[in-house]
Amino acid sequence: MKLYKLIFVANAFLLLISICLTNKEITLGEILINLTGKNIQLDLPDWVSYCIYFSIPILTTWYGTTKFYKLDPTEIKEENITEIESASSTFLPTFFAYVFVGLSINSVASLIFIYIAVTILCFCAEIYLYNPIFHVLGYRYYFVTAGNHKVLIMTKKEIKLREICEFKRIGQINDFTYIDIEK
Protein backbone atom coordinates (compact mmCIF):
# COMPACT_ATOMS: atom_id res chain seq x y z
CA MET A 1 0.00 0.00 0.00
CA LYS A 2 2.92 2.35 0.59
CA LEU A 3 3.88 1.96 -3.07
CA TYR A 4 0.40 3.05 -4.12
CA LYS A 5 0.68 6.04 -1.79
CA LEU A 6 3.90 7.03 -3.51
CA ILE A 7 2.37 6.56 -6.97
CA PHE A 8 -0.68 8.65 -6.05
CA VAL A 9 1.43 11.49 -4.64
CA ALA A 10 3.88 11.48 -7.55
CA ASN A 11 1.10 11.61 -10.12
CA ALA A 12 -0.69 14.43 -8.34
CA PHE A 13 2.49 16.47 -8.12
CA LEU A 14 3.41 15.91 -11.73
CA LEU A 15 0.22 17.81 -12.46
CA LEU A 16 1.32 20.59 -10.09
CA ILE A 17 4.67 20.84 -11.88
CA SER A 18 2.93 20.90 -15.29
CA ILE A 19 0.71 23.78 -14.20
CA CYS A 20 3.70 25.69 -12.82
CA LEU A 21 5.81 25.22 -15.97
CA THR A 22 2.94 26.26 -18.22
CA ASN A 23 2.11 29.30 -16.08
CA LYS A 24 5.74 30.46 -16.19
CA GLU A 25 5.84 29.78 -19.96
CA ILE A 26 8.89 27.56 -19.57
CA THR A 27 9.45 25.49 -22.70
CA LEU A 28 11.27 22.19 -23.22
CA GLY A 29 14.09 24.09 -24.93
CA GLU A 30 14.66 26.20 -21.81
CA ILE A 31 14.68 23.10 -19.63
CA LEU A 32 17.23 21.41 -21.90
CA ILE A 33 19.47 24.49 -21.84
CA ASN A 34 19.32 24.60 -18.03
CA LEU A 35 19.98 20.88 -17.65
CA THR A 36 22.79 20.54 -20.18
CA GLY A 37 24.31 24.02 -20.12
CA LYS A 38 24.37 23.93 -23.92
CA ASN A 39 22.37 26.16 -26.21
CA ILE A 40 20.10 23.53 -27.73
CA GLN A 41 17.56 25.00 -30.10
CA LEU A 42 14.19 23.31 -30.32
CA ASP A 43 12.05 24.81 -33.04
CA LEU A 44 8.77 23.78 -31.49
CA PRO A 45 5.82 26.02 -30.77
CA ASP A 46 5.36 26.66 -27.04
CA TRP A 47 2.05 24.79 -27.03
CA VAL A 48 3.89 21.55 -27.88
CA SER A 49 5.88 21.86 -24.64
CA TYR A 50 2.70 22.52 -22.68
CA CYS A 51 0.92 19.52 -24.24
CA ILE A 52 3.87 17.29 -23.35
CA TYR A 53 3.84 18.65 -19.78
CA PHE A 54 0.19 17.69 -19.33
CA SER A 55 0.42 14.38 -21.17
CA ILE A 56 3.08 13.11 -18.73
CA PRO A 57 0.86 13.20 -15.58
CA ILE A 58 -2.10 11.87 -17.56
CA LEU A 59 -0.09 8.93 -18.91
CA THR A 60 1.56 8.12 -15.57
CA THR A 61 -1.79 8.27 -13.77
CA TRP A 62 -3.33 6.03 -16.41
CA TYR A 63 -0.41 3.61 -16.09
CA GLY A 64 -0.90 3.56 -12.32
CA THR A 65 -4.56 2.62 -12.81
CA THR A 66 -3.50 -0.42 -14.83
CA LYS A 67 -1.85 -1.77 -11.67
CA PHE A 68 -4.94 -1.50 -9.46
CA TYR A 69 -5.83 -5.12 -10.17
CA LYS A 70 -2.85 -6.08 -7.97
CA LEU A 71 -4.60 -4.71 -4.89
CA ASP A 72 -6.15 -7.34 -2.62
CA PRO A 73 -9.76 -7.62 -3.82
CA THR A 74 -12.76 -7.49 -1.55
CA GLU A 75 -16.44 -6.79 -2.15
CA ILE A 76 -19.40 -4.86 -0.81
CA LYS A 77 -22.67 -6.66 -1.50
CA GLU A 78 -25.74 -4.75 -2.56
CA GLU A 79 -27.78 -5.97 0.42
CA ASN A 80 -25.19 -4.48 2.82
CA ILE A 81 -25.24 -1.02 1.22
CA THR A 82 -27.64 1.46 2.78
CA GLU A 83 -26.59 4.61 0.95
CA ILE A 84 -24.39 5.80 -1.90
CA GLU A 85 -23.70 9.50 -2.30
CA SER A 86 -21.49 11.42 -4.67
CA ALA A 87 -18.25 12.61 -3.12
CA SER A 88 -16.85 14.33 -6.21
CA SER A 89 -18.05 17.78 -5.14
CA THR A 90 -16.41 17.29 -1.74
CA PHE A 91 -13.02 17.11 -3.41
CA LEU A 92 -13.54 19.94 -5.89
CA PRO A 93 -11.73 22.44 -3.61
CA THR A 94 -8.77 20.04 -3.49
CA PHE A 95 -8.72 19.92 -7.28
CA PHE A 96 -8.71 23.71 -7.50
CA ALA A 97 -5.94 23.84 -4.93
CA TYR A 98 -3.62 22.13 -7.43
CA VAL A 99 -4.32 24.86 -9.95
CA PHE A 100 -3.89 27.77 -7.53
CA VAL A 101 -0.73 26.36 -5.97
CA GLY A 102 0.72 25.74 -9.42
CA LEU A 103 -0.12 29.28 -10.51
CA SER A 104 1.34 30.90 -7.39
CA ILE A 105 4.80 29.32 -7.47
CA ASN A 106 7.45 31.91 -8.38
CA SER A 107 10.73 29.97 -8.49
CA VAL A 108 12.27 26.52 -8.57
CA ALA A 109 13.24 26.87 -4.90
CA SER A 110 9.60 27.65 -4.07
CA LEU A 111 8.46 24.69 -6.15
CA ILE A 112 10.78 22.32 -4.28
CA PHE A 113 9.78 23.69 -0.86
CA ILE A 114 6.05 23.52 -1.67
CA TYR A 115 6.47 20.05 -3.18
CA ILE A 116 8.10 18.75 0.04
CA ALA A 117 5.60 20.49 2.33
CA VAL A 118 2.55 19.31 0.40
CA THR A 119 3.97 15.77 0.14
CA ILE A 120 4.28 15.59 3.92
CA LEU A 121 0.76 17.00 4.32
CA CYS A 122 -0.66 14.56 1.79
CA PHE A 123 0.96 11.55 3.44
CA CYS A 124 -0.23 12.56 6.91
CA ALA A 125 -3.75 13.58 5.89
CA GLU A 126 -4.17 10.80 3.30
CA ILE A 127 -5.45 13.22 0.67
CA TYR A 128 -2.98 11.92 -1.89
CA LEU A 129 -5.60 10.21 -4.01
CA TYR A 130 -7.65 13.26 -4.90
CA ASN A 131 -5.98 13.76 -8.25
CA PRO A 132 -8.07 15.63 -10.84
CA ILE A 133 -6.65 13.41 -13.56
CA PHE A 134 -8.74 10.53 -12.23
CA HIS A 135 -11.79 12.51 -13.37
CA VAL A 136 -10.27 12.87 -16.84
CA LEU A 137 -9.78 9.08 -16.87
CA GLY A 138 -13.46 8.56 -16.00
CA TYR A 139 -13.27 7.82 -12.28
CA ARG A 140 -15.87 9.22 -9.89
CA TYR A 141 -15.79 9.38 -6.11
CA TYR A 142 -18.64 8.01 -3.97
CA PHE A 143 -19.24 7.67 -0.25
CA VAL A 144 -20.73 4.24 0.37
CA THR A 145 -22.41 3.43 3.66
CA ALA A 146 -22.55 -0.27 4.46
CA GLY A 147 -23.64 -1.18 7.96
CA ASN A 148 -21.88 1.13 10.41
CA HIS A 149 -19.07 2.00 8.00
CA LYS A 150 -18.76 4.80 5.49
CA VAL A 151 -16.00 4.40 2.91
CA LEU A 152 -14.84 6.24 -0.17
CA ILE A 153 -14.94 4.31 -3.43
CA MET A 154 -13.39 5.42 -6.70
CA THR A 155 -15.20 3.84 -9.63
CA LYS A 156 -15.90 4.30 -13.31
CA LYS A 157 -19.54 3.41 -12.70
CA GLU A 158 -22.03 6.21 -13.16
CA ILE A 159 -24.28 5.86 -10.12
CA LYS A 160 -27.57 7.76 -10.19
CA LEU A 161 -29.29 9.39 -7.23
CA ARG A 162 -30.78 6.80 -4.83
CA GLU A 163 -29.37 3.97 -6.91
CA ILE A 164 -27.83 1.11 -4.98
CA CYS A 165 -25.35 -1.13 -6.72
CA GLU A 166 -22.91 -3.84 -5.82
CA PHE A 167 -19.14 -3.57 -5.83
CA LYS A 168 -18.01 -7.12 -6.62
CA ARG A 169 -14.29 -6.43 -6.82
CA ILE A 170 -12.76 -3.45 -5.06
CA GLY A 171 -9.15 -2.95 -4.03
CA GLN A 172 -8.28 -1.41 -0.69
CA ILE A 173 -6.00 1.64 -0.90
CA ASN A 174 -6.18 2.56 2.78
CA ASP A 175 -8.53 1.93 5.72
CA PHE A 176 -11.34 4.05 4.29
CA THR A 177 -10.66 4.18 0.56
CA TYR A 178 -11.25 1.58 -2.13
CA ILE A 179 -11.06 1.52 -5.90
CA ASP A 180 -13.39 -0.48 -8.10
CA ILE A 181 -11.18 -2.94 -10.01
CA GLU A 182 -13.99 -4.90 -11.62
CA LYS A 183 -13.62 -5.05 -15.38
Strands annotated E in 19-63:
none
Tens digits of per-residue pLDDT, 99-120? 777 678 778 788 778 778 877 7
* Residue predicted with more confidence, 101 or 27: 27
**Residue-wise burial string across 9-25, b where 16 or more C-beta atoms lie within 10 A, e elsewhere:** bebbbbbbbbbbbbebe
Given a cut of 60, whether residue 128 has pLDDT beyond it is no
Percent of the chain with pLDDT over 90: 9
Q: Lowest-confidence range among 38-47, 117-126, 147-156?
A: 117-126
Region class of 138: left (phi > 0), else alpha (psi between -120 and 50), else beta: left
Mean pLDDT of 26-49: 84
User: What is the value of pTM for the model shown?
Assistant: 0.78
Q: Where are the domains of the chain?
A: 2-180
CA dihedral over 34, 38, 39, 40, signed as positive or negative = negative
CB 98 within 8 A of CB 121: no
pLDDT at residue 55, as a whole number = 95
Given a cut of 80, whether residue 7 has pLDDT beyond it is no
